[in-house]
Amino acid sequence: LEATVDLLVEDYRHLAEELVDAEEELDSLNSALRDVDSECRMKSRELERAEERQTALDEQNIRLEATVDLLVEDYRHLAEELVDAEEELDSLNSALRDVDSECRMKSRELERAEERQTALDEQNIRLEATVDL
């Protein structure tokens, strides 16, 4: 029983370490997602300014259209990266929920094992008292 408890404690510790690692990775991905979002907003503002210049300056129309095309492509690329990052974040969140669920289950198993151990200890004390009599 003690070996089982030791294994459960070790499993719980391992799962807790994995949970910390997943949280750190989630923080890193959240930071990357914020960076991508900021860059998308910046590119979006640049695109808007480029479109305003195109309207105001007809003689630069050809050059401005090329700039807009490049900015649109950059925006699409960043949007695709954002979608990928969101999918990865969703996957990590799901994995985190799985680990959390497993940790809770292991914690309940450990608690039950501790309760059984306490009951066995009490029974041993009673049996020893009986033997002493």
pLDDT (tens digit per residue) in 68-117: 999 999 999 999 999 999 999 999 999 999 999 999 999 999 999 999 99
Whole-model pTM: value is 0.39
DSSP string across 22-83: HHHHHHHHHHHHHHHHHHHHHHHHHHHHHHHHHHH-GGGHHHHHHHHHHHHHHHHHHHHHHH
What is the average pLDDT across 51-63?
A: 76
Per-residue pLDDT, 56: 82
Residue 133 DSSP one-character state: -
Q: Per-residue confidence at 62, pLDDT binned at 50, 70, 90?
A: confident
Cβ neighbours around 128 below 10 Å, total: 10
Per-residue pLDDT, 44: 93
Length of the chain: 133
Say how far apart CA 67 and CA 61 lie, in whole Å.
10
